[in-house]
Amino acid sequence: MTTTARRPLEGMLVLDLGQVYNGPYCGLLLGFMGARVLKIEPPEGDVVRRRKRDVEPYPLVMLNSNKESVVLDLKHPEGKALFLRLARKADVVVENFAAGVMERLGLGWEALRAQNPRLVYGVGNGFGLTGPYRDLPAMDLTIQAMSGIMNATGFPDRPPVKAGPAVSDFLAGVHLFAGIVGALLYRERTGQGQLVEVAMLEASIMALASAVGALMDADGAVPERTGNRHPALAIAPYNVYSTNDGYVAIFTASERHWHSIARVLGREDLLENPAFASTPARAARMEEIDAMVEAWTRQRGKDAVMAALTTAHVPCAPVRTAREV
């Protein structure tokens, strides 16, 4: 006899005031964990909803598909009163307004905690609830710029480039989700709710471990942008290589991977060569190794490259378009 496993947040109520990507992604994850999530929008709708008037934009559907929809005008006394009624019953509130917005509405953490001491209040913002940047407007683009992600993206001889996806929004959203789950565990142990706050800037900086590591290790030879190569230029092969029908990404993280790709390339002789015997040694010969790998990939299609390297247990992937995904 089989039984259906219960999801960990079943029976919990989440009030999701999130907008655009950051807050809504956190709410989506809480819904995946079994919570009942009410997406609360102002009369004019989520900012993303306003991008198209004839249909619901796909990002809106993608990030809110497991939620119930509620419209409340929190600036109106009746809308505020209804929200307070919901907050008294809720387990979690999620919001990612600019710092101070909910407090000015009389619906911030202190006000809601007075109504519901067990409430977990999750807030995502750009730069934190305190500090010199607190009141700076924040969107994914500006956080990518401020965090260093943009300066680390692109090629050495070209200007900084933003990362294609909204990485700062989603990094902060998953951090906020984790913090809320931790606060719910704390509540189970103590009976008390908590304020959970995640700054997009702080969440984004952690993704720069390799680039910051190169700086802190004082390797002045590493440029600020390294294209598709390792951010600290510490590993080879580690790049995107052309094929006869597109591109593939190849990454050798260990000696085993290097031994495998050398055999695939028909260069077993390199395995006995001291100049290629360690990760730092191979990194010093990056240009030579990249040319060797691409000479092999360029003669083959993506599928053939994938088949050969996957059989050899070398990490690799085709570079796919959004349509292919």
pLDDT at 269: 95
pLDDT in tens, 248-302: 999 998 999 999 999 999 999 999 999 999 999 999 999 999 999 999 999 999 9
**64: helix, coil or strand?**
helix
136: Cβ contacts below 8 Å, ≥ 6 apart: 126, 127, 142
- Under the banding of pLDDT at 50, 70 and 90, the label for residue 218 is low
Q: Note the CATH number of domain 238-318.
A: 3.30.1540.10
CA-to-CA dists, residue 88 to 112, 177, 191, 223, angstroms: 8, 21, 15, 53
**Six-digit token pair at 79?**
């809308």
The confidence band for 211, taking pLDDT boundaries of 50, 70 and 90, is confident
Name the strand (E) or helix (H) holding 139.
none
Confidence of residue 3 (pLDDT cuts 50, 70, 90): low
Which amino acid would we find at residue 210? S
* pLDDT > 70 in the chain, percent: 97
Q: How confident is the model at residue 83 (pLDDT cuts 50, 70, 90)?
A: very high
What average pLDDT does the structure give for the chain? Answer: 93
Radius of gyration of the chain from Cα atoms?
A: 24
Structure tokens, 132: 């010199």
pLDDT of 159 reads 94
d(CA 148, CA 224): 10
Calpha distance 43→55 (Å, rounded) = 17
Looking at residue 5, its pLDDT comes to 74
| CATH number at 13-206 | 3.40.50.10540
Kindly give, in sequence order, each residue whose CB lies less than 8 Å from that of residue 154, ignoring residues fewer than 6 positions away: 160, 161, 225, 227
Answer yes or no: 175 catalytic.
no
Structural domain boundaries in the chain: 13-206, 238-318
Query: Does the pLDDT of residue 221 top 90, yes or no?
Result: no
> Considering 230, 257, 259, 313, which one is annotated as catalytic?
230
